[in-house]
Chains A and B, each alone.
Chain A
Amino acid sequence: MQPAPDPFVQADTHDLVLRAEPASVRAALLAVTAVSPVADLSPDLRGTVELVLAEVLNNVAEHAYADSAGHVAVTVALQPGVLWCEVVDEGAPMPGSTLPEGRLPKDDLPEGGFGWHLIRTMTRDLQYRRQRGTNRLTFIIPLQE
């Protein structure tokens, strides 16, 4: 898979491609948070970025590649006041080609269904496009504390 074209040539960017499975996701999160631009953020914001990327990448591993193995590409770029993020994979499309609403589960002791709620709470401008067999998710994480 080609890395996504970088629309922010001037920006401080970091990208990597990883296998979409839990151990590789963990390694990728450690890698992304250890270098610029994410490493330069406050510990609290680094935690937010790591959590959002964890939820997005684990969703790709668990759902898009539920029946197959594959790779996923992540790009993070520092822009004024926000971190711009893009996640691209070649797995199955989102059901109905739309993003889940991310409502919190209604049961008393839910064991799942938290992921999209966390993603939607911590991001802005969340956009999903399915094109020529690829899923492309973009969003920004505000950097004001």
Chain B
Amino acid sequence: MQLKTQSRPRVLTVEVMEDRIDAATAIQFKERMRDITRTGDQRVVLDLARVQFLDSSGLGAIVAVKKMLGPDRPLELSGLTPTVEKVFRLTRMDSIFTIHPSVEVAVSHATGT
């Protein structure tokens, strides 16, 4: 599970470099996210622009990461592709995440510029 991170003063962006987060990789994704967010307190933007497929295990892992970060360190999402967006919409998990059209928009929101 390849994740590319970029740390800014007020936002940590995590770009998923895989085209799937599924039952085969969900646990690995969760563990990598735990390692990446172990230090720091910036808000976290998870960029899913490359992810073409997310199943319920992958969705559960993303929710678990949000829970792990706690209420003071929001997890926001960006770049949902159509099938990924559908999973969030059908499970109504689109209502518990702030979802940005792109990582650039997410970053400008997060820094308030």
A interface vs B, CB < 8 Å? Answer: 22-23, 25-26, 29, 43-44, 47-48, 50-51, 54-55, 58, 61-62, 104, 108-112, 114-115, 117-118, 121-122
A26 touches B24 (CB 8 A): yes
Partner of A110, one of B23, B57, B63: B63
What are 6 A-B contacts defined by CB distance under 8 Å?
A26-B23, A47-B53, A54-B53, A58-B55, A110-B63, A112-B60
Q: Is the Cβ of B82 less than 8 Å from the Cβ of A43? A: yes
**Chain B contacts with A in 58-89, Cβ cutoff 8 A:** 59-61, 63-64, 66-67, 82-83, 86-87
Establish whether residues A118 and B24, one from each chain, have CB atoms under 8 Å apart when the complex forms: no
Known contacts A104-B91, A109-B96, A114-B60; A50/B23 CB under 8 A: no
Asked if A112 meets B24 with Cβ closer than 8 Å, knowing A44-B82, A47-B82, A117-B91, the reply is no
Number of interface residues of B (CB under 8 A): 24
Chain B residues near A112 (CB-CB < 8 A): 56, 60
Chain A residue with Cβ nearest B61: A111
Contact A114 B56 (CB under 8 A): yes
Question: Contact between B60 and A54 (Cβ–Cβ < 8 Å)?
Answer: no
